Structure 1
Amino acid sequence: MHTEDTTLEDLLTIAVRQARLLCATARGVNCGRTTRETATAARILQGLEAGNVLRDDLDGGLQALHAHLSDAIATEKVGYRRVFDGHHDPEGGDVGVVREIPVLSDRGAALLPVLRRCEALIAARDAARDRLRAEQTLRRLL
């Protein structure tokens, strides 16, 4: 995300939107492998729905949610499929590589968009918080 020309208000709007989208994407999805992880995820999502996405106490929770989701997805791989990544050159034939892409179970496929939304929220929060701190520092210097 290029944030150099984006206002603080716009960065905050993006972070709030990402939090809303994360909560909507996670609705109805069991985001943990254990009862404890599921409860932690539910608590973090409730906190996001209830208030300020820049709260410092969300840092550890979002990192924990990201770790839980990553670990859960890693256990949901049911195999691999090969995909060609490249193009066909009429004179030289196929140019590229064959990659093995994991095939996820239904649960893993449901968790993946939640993980992507979590990553987007973390990035949006970081950008907004960096801009906020920079503006606060500039105000102190002036």
Structure 2
Amino acid sequence: MHLLSNKINIDDLAAETVGLGRQVADRAKSLHLGDNARDVAFVSRCLARLKERQPFDEADEGGFAAVMDILERSIAAECLGSEDRFEETGYDEFGPHGETRETPVYSDRGDELIELRCLFQDFLNSRDSVLDQVAAHRCLLDIMNR
């Protein structure tokens, strides 16, 4: 029997998750994420454990979803309008192929919030991967203890 192993080292993945979480908390704080002082304080509370390098508490799930919602609303509020831009969809011997698409244009703050959203999504994906590996280890231990 051949087992293919493409397993990421859980220690490295957990360390990456901790670092990403800290970056998210720092960036959200520096951008004063939220539409008002109440939202800013709420975001700070929801991300407090990330600042303390504790990104795996299950109690934070709802808070993370709420922070993502606040982030999405903040990004939408920074949209200045839209413009038509050429989007490349392919390339061959005759050159690039594409189409013109209406693309939203954001303020500088909007661009920074979009970067934060990408960083936050990377954190959430990394966190999910660690929690999936931990769950897999628990399943294996349950099987072996039968």
TM-score grouping bracket, smaller chain normalisation: 0.7 to 0.9
What is the distance in 1 between the residues matched to 2:16 and 2:131?
12
CA RMSD of aligned residues (A): 2.1
Q: TM-score, normalised by structure 1?
A: 0.86
CA contact (8 A) 2:81 2:104 kept: yes
Once the two structures are TM-superposed, the CA of residue 25 in structure 1 deviates from its matched residue by 2.4
Question: Given the alignment, which residue of 108, 111, 117 partners 1:109?
Answer: 111
CA contact (8 A) 2:21 2:53 kept: no
Q: What is the CA deviation profile of residues 61-98 of structure 1, one whole-angstrom value per residue up to 9, with x for unaligned ones?
A: 1111111001111121101122212267665x762111
Higher relative contact order (CA 8 A, sep 6+): 1
2:15 aligned partner: 13
What are structure 1's unaligned runs of at least 5 residues? none
Percent of aligned positions with the same letter in both sequences? 27
2:35 aligned partner: 33
2:72 aligned partner: 70
What is the distance in 2 between the residues matched to 1:94 and 1:68?
38
What is the distance in 2 between the residues matched to 1:109 and 1:52?
28
What is the distance in 2 between the residues matched to 1:14 and 1:140?
28
2:3 aligned partner: none
2:125 aligned partner: 123
2:58 aligned partner: 56
What is the distance in 1 between the residues matched to 2:77 and 2:43?
18
One-letter identity of the residue aligned with 1:52: Q
One-letter identity of the residue aligned with 1:135: H
Q: After the TM superposition, which of the residue ranges 12-21 and 43-52 deviates more from structure 2?
A: 43-52
CA contact (8 A) 1:25 1:113 kept: no
What is the distance in 1 between the residues matched to 2:122 and 2:97?
33
1:46 aligned partner: 48
**Number of aligned positions between the proteins:** 139
What is the distance in 2 between the residues matched to 1:64 and 1:140?
34
Q: TM-score, normalised by structure 2?
A: 0.84
